[in-house]
Structure 1
Amino acid sequence: MPLALVAVGFVVVALLANSGALADDVNLWPMPVSVSRGSHTLYLSRDFALKTDGSKLSGESGILKDGFERMVELVRESRAIEGHVKTSGNVLAGLHVVVSSSDDALYYGVDESYKLSIPASGDPIYGHIEAASVYGALHAFQTFSQLCNLNFKTRTVELHAAPWDIHDQPRFSYRGLLIDTSRHYQPLSTIKKVIDAMAYSKLNVLHWHIVDRESFPIEIPSYPKLWNGAYSYYERYTVADAQEVVQYAGIRGINVLAEIDVPGHATSWGIGYPSLLPSAKCQEPLDVSNEFTFKVIDGILADFSKVFKFKFVHLGGDEVDTSCWVTSPHVKKWLVNHKMNESEAYKYFVLRAQSIAAKHGYEPINWEETFNNFGNELNPKTVVHNWLGGGVAPKVVAAGLRCIVSNQDKWYLDHLDTTWQEFYMNEPLTNISIPKQQKLIIGGEVCMWGETVDASNIEQTIWPRAAAAAERLWTPLEKLANDPKLVTARLARFRCLLNRRGVAAAPVSAPGRGAPLGKGSCLEQ
């Protein structure tokens, strides 16, 4: 097999043949639905411009304009572009963007499709983007940015292989990444860097597992003592901080899914409000017998609804050990009076929390234990979040409920022995062949649980393995490689691109969050 050559500017690095490459050597990640290209080189104008005539969304729209400016900065890699292009007829003057919707609201299921075409000639030459929404246009910008290369000899930005014709849309509407800010606090600057890399990878949901038994770092105005459960005075998020995360993600086409994990995983709630817990010695699950428990949940979700505008809220429901309810005398008495056993009380709690969420305009997402225990008794709008392993998703969709796939054996980023190849090959529709049921798999999510990550190492633990899953969730099944060796070179290039953009992505050859083993090119590690 011949060597695969990957060009970056004027540097050409030979990759070993067993690392593989696509036959047509299209170095885009994730791979679009369809791609065709030519053989001409264009040079980006120093005054590279955005044109929006004919678009229902004005070029003055903050999201479109800001997205374009961020893309241009990425292409130039924060370097001074000093070169002057003297050759006539090969200067790319800018991008002409036509968005067919004047609505720039971000919501679940928004049309993210786009068409990107770049002619090889014209007077002047403009690339063309057609998108149903501004968020499709943002994805087109990300794809365009990967077509560009710095020429270090001429100090210009080049775009090779014009003309390009790319048609693209995501395979799944939900493409998520979970971060956990309870086990370790993550600064706002770190969360923003994670969001940036999600946009580069075309992921579109940041699942913010904000609180857990270890800490309660977020401000809840309705119940201000809750964040007494933060690790320290400084490891907290104000309402304004949460709004900033939502806004930062939103203008990049990323929804923020907030989670409160109830009734288990909630010991930290009792630091500010001890009566929420069954007793001082037996602290989980939350006290099902206390009406105050549900008033607090109601207050949290009321406050969340003012900040987190995503259609869904995550209510947890996993790993609930109900033994505290029968060993705490007042809770046991309540169970007897209400003629409930432990399992029935667990169901009562989950369904009541779902009802409170619905009151605040949310559709509930719950971890799979709720389905495993209660099945069709859940709210019919429930999205079941699979995590324990394979085999659950087919049962969920057969029952008519929607499902998000995050099976821990393949898509848990804290499992450092799970390789990027396993992330890439994990198929959400395994053993689901009926089209109606396939549609109920709304997507998947990779999970970065926080026990062993903080700001010092979260990026290299997430990337590039999350990007491997991102292609699985974006690219049509028939376009995905049957052998991850065939995409190794392309993923290596994308990982190097992340590094150049300031993302601390680990080497492709390293397990988990490994470091380079020795000297050499980024592309070979």
Structure 2
Amino acid sequence: MGKIVVQIFLLGLFLQVLAVSAVDTNRLNIWPMPKSVSHGHSTLYLSKDFELKTDGSKYTDSSGILKDGFSRLLDIVEAAHVIDSNLTDSDQPVVLQGLHVVVFSLNDELQYGVDESYKLSVPANGKPVYAHLEAQTVYGALHGLQTFSQLCHFNFTSRVIEVHQVPWTIADQPRFSYRGLLIDTSRHYQPLLMIKKVIDSMAYAKLNVLHWHIVDKQSFPLEISSYPKLWNGAYSISERYTAADAAEIVSYAQRRGINVLAEIDVPGHALSWGIGYPRLWPSKDCPEPLDVSNEFTFKVIDGILSDFSKIFKFRFVHLGGDEVNTSCWIITPHIRNWLQKHKMNESDAYQYFVLRAQRIALSHGYEIVNWEETFNNFGNKLSRKTVVHNWLGGGVAQQVVASGLRCIVSNQDKWYLDHLDIMWQEFYMNEPLTNITNPKQQELVLGGEVCMWGEHIDGSDIEQTIWPRAAAAAERLWTPYDNLAKDPRQVTGRLAHFRCLLNQRGVAAAPLAGGGRVAPEEPGSCYMQ
């Protein structure tokens, strides 16, 4: 983007966010936009002893998920400034004493399709005054806490946290049950703390699936106890994840309402597997895709998925299946002989491999996600428990659901974060249900996912490459279609506000004025970049 174009963008943004600040009471700055929201014009301030009340709730919170969520709420609300007011609860304005949370379900299992709805109300007065949050599950309550956090602002005069525009009445639920973000730890290792930071930022935007593309051609960083030499394929001895590390990521994400979708991409994208087990290669001179003729290949896949089932509790596992170049199978004598014996060509062998891997995953209780090439090549042969992951372009989701299979949308021309030239406006306007009008077929679109492929991404730049563009997609996936802006210029100021909020919370979200990972053009307010 040229400097003149940037300056024009900044001028337009300035006009939209003029007077937007932490104390502005005249704008509605919630991201993603709730299903239903109304507000007033009064102000409360948070008591210095702001508390969580749960009386009347069926949910016992024996695991501490709600209590921890409330503690994080206080942390992020109070993180931006030091609260040093001398105000007491007897001073004006009216004091908000705490948050009364009622959760109706006793169950805190996190799975696909869990009820994430909530209702949040903040009254303008009462004796005493409490905000009220109701949810069917604790995970809906966590979303309500995130929304409440965005209603809180620091007052630079009184030095307290205030809630403006009360009374608030918000009823909310997600449009899609699958709202994902892919991270890639094979092309560059991501430290455990950085993955946790990404999970925290996902929760701020109400994304709920971390698609962990753990291994690929370049490295195999994960410990697999069934086949312990696999992680010999890591870049170095320190750039690895133990099984306990992986379990910690799953637990950390689950306590924030986020599922972890683990991926092993087979039969291609697997050269690193053979560092520890060279038998998996067709030959040392032609090491990829995995050897389809060798029973050991499928024993290793079975071992990996057996170990996965003890750690990754999400209903789905991702088996890849994309970009398979079968030429090594043809030029390797023992595989060529195996193909001839079984009356297969290379396309038949590709299908055989994918379907056999699917059967192994099913035997471990998983449903399967595969990249769209599997559907494009032999869609009618795939297990009916397959979710087809669209990435190559438009029109595929329409074909998938017409065939009766489920689909996740990640079309690379709109939702690939490593494509730095894709602007946030394109992320916002990308519609998963394009040309899908049949209600039953619409239900087969589980949702969508933005993809942070790691060829040029490590711990130094992952956050500013993800945000704020992922937030634009997050609103598309959360907010009812009729509530979405038909022109992204209508949400520029609100997204700028959310981006600045991320910065205040320690997330290195990049400016809006450009594609991915851009730097500020010149000195100026966060709200005007």
Distance of 1:10 and 1:115 partners within structure 2: 24
1:466 aligns with 2:470: yes
Amino acid at match of 1:72: L
1:426 aligns with 2:430: yes
Distance of 1:105 and 1:199 partners within structure 2: 17
**Shift in alpha-carbon separation, 1:89–1:485, aligned structure 2, 3 A:** closer
CA RMSD of aligned residues (A): 1.3
For structure 1, the 5+ residue unaligned runs are 13-23
- Contact 1:89–1:121 at 8 Å: present in 2 too? no
Deviation at 1:8, TM superposition (A): 2.8
**Shift in alpha-carbon separation, 1:61–1:93, aligned structure 2, 3 A:** farther
Matches within 5 A, 1:92-111: 92-111=96-115
Cα deviation digits, residues 150-198 of structure 1 (max 9, x gap): 1122110000010000000000000000000000000001101100000
TM-score by length of 1: 0.96
- Contact 2:101–2:134 at 8 Å: present in 1 too? yes
Deviation at 1:10, TM superposition (A): 4.5
Distance of 1:272 and 1:4 partners within structure 2: 55
SS at match of 2:471: helix
Deviation at 1:11, TM superposition (A): 7.4
Match of 2:53 among 51, 54, 59: 51
Matches within 5 A, 1:123-202: 123-202=127-206
1:312 aligns with: 316
Match of 1:279 among 283, 288, 299: 283
Match of 2:381 among 377, 381, 392: 377
2:36 aligns with: 34
Distance of 2:381 and 2:514 partners within structure 1: 44
Amino acid at match of 1:256: V
- Contact 2:123–2:131 at 8 Å: present in 1 too? yes
- Contact 1:8–1:149 at 8 Å: present in 2 too? no
Matches within 5 A, 1:28-427: 28-58=30-60, 61-77=63-79, 79-83=81-85, 84-85=87-88, 86-87=90-91, 90-427=94-431
Deviation at 1:9, TM superposition (A): 3.6
- Contact 2:100–2:132 at 8 Å: present in 1 too? yes
- Contact 1:151–1:157 at 8 Å: present in 2 too? yes
Aligned positions, number = 514
- Contact 1:89–1:123 at 8 Å: present in 2 too? no
Cα deviation digits, residues 104-152 of structure 1 (max 9, x gap): 1111110000000010000000000010000000000000000000112
**Shift in alpha-carbon separation, 1:59–1:247, aligned structure 2, 3 A:** closer
- Contact 1:206–1:255 at 8 Å: present in 2 too? yes
2:521 aligns with: 517
1:18 aligns with: none
Cα deviation digits, residues 46-89 of structure 1 (max 9, x gap): 00000001101125641000000100111111643222244357
Cα deviation digits, residues 89-109 of structure 1 (max 9, x gap): 710001110000011111111
**Shift in alpha-carbon separation, 1:6–1:74, aligned structure 2, 3 A:** farther
Amino acid at match of 2:302: D
1:20 aligns with: none
Distance of 1:228 and 1:196 partners within structure 2: 30
SS at match of 2:98: strand
Distance of 1:4 and 1:488 partners within structure 2: 8
Deviation at 1:283, TM superposition (A): 1.0
Distance of 1:247 and 1:471 partners within structure 2: 25
1:17 aligns with: none
Which aligned segments of 4 or more residues in structure 1 are displaced greater than 6 angstroms?
A: none
Identity of aligned residues (%): 71
1:480 aligns with: 484
